[in-house]
Chain A
Amino acid sequence: MPETQPIIEVSHLTKEYPGVHAVNDLSFTVYDGDVYGFLGQNGAGKSTTIRMLLTLVKPTGGNIRIFGKDLSAHRHEIMSQTGAIIERPDLYKYLSAYDNLKIFARMSGRRAGRALLMERLDMVGLADRWNSAVKTFSQGMKQRLGIAVSLIHDPRLVLLDEPTNGLDPQGIADMRNLIISLKKDMGKTVLVSSHLLSEIEQVATRMIIINKGAKIAEGYVHELLSPSNTVVTIETLDNTLAIALIHKEYPLLRPVTDGMQIRVNMDKARVPELVSRLAASGAGVVSIKPRHSLEEYFLSLTNQGQHVEPVADRVI
């Protein structure tokens, strides 16, 4: 896939707090038109990185360029073309949706008239509640208003830090559609962070995985999540027989036993064939779970906390 103009260029970014490397020598590039997934478990350094991109947190080292310009030297110009939601979309609860939008439009340097403000409220489905105080809104409504606030000045770049946190399933689906629409219909470049691979997988074109502030993997989502890197977890009534069958029929695969389960790395397209052969062998298939090796790896980070096995050896 051809790469276009870089929008965010981060090189050797570091943020140290006493005794902690929140972000450790992180480098990545987001290109024009990307929906760039920023994936990591809680505490991995995603929010700190996004806050550094928004000048909320000062880097200890490294360099950030946005729209080809140094962030610290051209902050005003860059921020006037950037919109953001950082974790929760907290707004002035005692003001109406309309007043909140108007205030943040003016702060963004845009004198938005009533027609534009109402159009943006309509875009996020809040036109009928324009005059209601934000304190009466549900979390989903606040999130939608937050999106309207972040887009009111028509930014080129939108940074969304965990935008689905606290949303119900419908809210999550709406947010997902909105992110896709930001790129597809509005031509925005989006950086979206999440601790859920499935969320990133559904919206992002490119992604990075970070752990303990450092890059673990980066690339196109379709490449990182290629079906050829599938981990199949099998549970049978006779694991010895099943392993013998795999050794015989698939000599290149290396099945390993993990308690009552067998795990084997293989191409997802070959899973149905394996199931048929195991069933025919009489091993008695109880369950079979194909999962992408990246997802498997990411789950290991989430479940085991400190366990880190270099993913690059297995995935990229």
Chain B
Amino acid sequence: MWNLLQIELYKISRRPRTYIAFAAISAIVFIFQFAFKADGASYLNLMMQSVQDSFEIDRSKAINGYFMCYIILNTLLVQVPVLVALIAGDAISGEANMGTLRLLLTKPVSRTQLLMSKFIASFIFTVILLLWMAVMALLLSMVIFGVDDMLIFRVKGEESQIMQITKDDIIWRYVAAFGYAAIALTVIAAIAILLSIYAENSIGPIVATVCIVIVFTVVSNINVPIIDKNVKPWLFTSYLVGWKGFFYIATTPDGEPIKGSLENWPAIRNSLFILIGHIVLLLGISTYVFNRKDILS
């Protein structure tokens, strides 16, 4: 299995398309950092216009490395599924398209082993992608913008909130958030791998995965009670942004933030279980289908 995994990682590392994802993330992060360095105050004014009379902050310190990373992650973690689909959607279909799938499957390895090695390789790719995001969006932003307490803007129901997390209470939240994002993105990888079993070129599963994410995300954002109650709990996209929960800090009855706390850990934990359940289910279906498939490519 380790042998197969090494081979899969080597193949991924040698494909030019792999580096498109890293280049895309770098480009987006650089644009954000440049824009906020040049005119971050305007963004802050926009965000604070509803609370500027009741909340006094030192705006020169508000735009710091931690805040920048949060803003970037809010945008990037919507786009990264496309980059994960680019690799995972190619896992089986790309081999079928090249004609190498039939050669691989004549080797003394089981189909389940091959599928698992491809899934684990996709997972490792996802983790490396997130580590790259962490380096670019967090570490580089910390170097460029410095570090300080972090402001979180949040719309909860009808009201807007600003929460403040002290700078010594932030890093562990990012570690947990990136970990959560890795699991969330692995669901995307599992969907793409399942679809890639059915296809003989990479475009179909990649586009289909992205379409599923887009449609489900749109439905997840429809704020109608009947959908909130009956549809959203069944959509994995409802849980993709659960990483934000690590930045929602619990408060005392007086409204004071409690250091090291989470507002709703059970909700985060349940979301994680649901996402892991999706991964297990999708992999189970993939293994079943792949083991019964006639290889005609």
Q: Work out how many contacts link A and B, with CB atoms closer than 8 A.
A: 76
CB proximity of A189 to chain B, nearest CB, Å: 16
B146 at the A/B interface (Cβ < 8 Å)? Answer: no
Question: Are the C-beta atoms of B107 and A90 separated by less than 8 Å?
Answer: no
Chain B residues with CB below 8 A from A82, complex form: 106
Q: A90-B98, A93-B98, A107-B7 are in contact. Are A56 and B108 (CB under 8 A)?
A: no
> Would you give the shortest CB distance from A226 to chain B, in whole angstroms?
36
CB of B7 within 8 A of CB of A57, answer no
B100 x A90 contact (CB < 8 A): yes
B284: CB under 8 A from chain A? Answer: no
**Which of B10-18, B46-54, B210-218 sits within the interface?**
B10-18
Q: Within 8 Å of chain B (Cβ to Cβ): is A250?
A: no
B99 touches A90 (CB 8 A): yes
B14-44 interface code vs A (CB 8 A; 1 in, 0 out): 1110000000000000000000000000000
- Given contacts A76-B108, A106-B7, A107-B107, A94 and B294 within 8 Å (CB-CB): no
The distance in angstroms between the C-alpha atoms of A89 and B11, with both chains bound, is 18
Contact of A80 among B15, B16, B102, B108 (CB under 8 A): B108
Among candidates B11, B103, B295, residue contacting A90 with C-beta atoms closer than 8 Å:
B103
Contact between B106 and A86, CB atoms less than 8 A apart = yes
Q: Which of A57, A84, A106 contacts B294 (CB 8 A)?
A: A57
Q: Using known A-B contacts A58-B294, A106-B3, A107-B109, determine if residue A88 contacts B99 with beta carbons closer than 8 Å.
A: yes
Query: A2 within 8 Å of B by Cβ?
Result: no
Determine which of B98, B103, B295 lies in contact with A104 in the assembled complex, contact meaning CB atoms within 8 Å. B103
Residues of chain B lying within 8 A (CB to CB) of residue A79: 106-108
| Interface size range of chain B in the complex | 20 to 34
- CB of A57 within 8 A of CB of B108, answer no
Asked if A86 and B103 make an inter-chain contact with CB atoms under 8 angstroms apart, the answer reads yes
Closest to A133 in B: B14
* Given A56-B102, A79-B108, A149-B103, CB of A94 within 8 Å of CB of B3: no
Distance between Cα atoms of A154 and B106 in the complex (Å) = 14
- Scan residues 183-198 of chain B and give those whose CB is less than 8 A from a CB of chain A: none
- A58-92 to B contact mask, C-beta < 8 Å, 1/0: 10000000000000000111011010101111111
Q: When the two chains form their complex, are residues A108 and B99 in contact, meaning their CB atoms are under 8 A apart?
A: no
Q: Is A136 an interface residue (CB 8 A)?
A: no
| Residue with the greatest number of chain B CB neighbours at <10 A, chosen from A82, A89, A103 | A103
Q: Residues of A contacting B105 with CB < 8 Å?
A: 54-56
Residues of B within 8 A of A95 (CB): 11, 14
Does chain B have a CB within 8 A of A51? yes
Q: Which residues of A11-65 have CB atoms within 8 Å of chain B's CB atoms?
A: 51, 54-58
| In the complex, chain B residues whose CB is within 8 Å of the CB of A106 | 3, 6-7
Complex interface: chain B residues within 8 A of A104 (CB): 103, 107
Q: Does B267 contact A (CB under 8 A)?
A: no
Of chain A, the residue at the smallest CB distance from B17 is A94
Contact yes or no, A107 B99, CB < 8 A: no
Residue A109 CB within 8 A of the other chain: yes
Q: Are A109 and B108 in contact, CB atoms less than 8 angstroms apart?
A: yes
Task: Indicate which residue in B14, B104, B292, B296 contacts A107 across the interface (CB closer than 8 Å).
Answer: B104
| B292 and chain A: residue at smallest CB distance | A58
Nearest residue (CB) in A for B11 is A92
A79-B107 Cα distance, complex, nearest whole Å: 6
Docked-complex contact A56 and B10, CB < 8 angstroms: no
Taking a contact as CB atoms under 8 Å apart, the answer to whether B107 and A108 are in contact is yes
Report the separation of the CA atoms of residues A75 and B105 in the bound assembly, to the nearest whole angstrom. 11
Contacts of B15 in A (CB 8 A): 94
A selection of 14 A-B contacts at a CB cut-off of 8 Å is A51-B102, A51-B294, A57-B294, A75-B108, A76-B108, A84-B106, A90-B99, A91-B98, A92-B11, A92-B98, A93-B98, A95-B14, A107-B104, A108-B107
By a beta-carbon cutoff of 8 Å, the part of chain B in contact with chain A is 3-4, 6-7, 10-11, 14-16, 98-100, 102-110, 292, 294-296
A interface residue numbers (CB < 8 A to B): 51, 54-58, 75-77, 79-80, 82, 84, 86-95, 99, 103-104, 106-109, 149
Pick the 10 closest A-B CB pairs, nearest first.
A90-B99, A80-B108, A56-B295, A107-B107, A79-B108, A57-B294, A54-B106, A76-B108, A84-B106, A86-B102
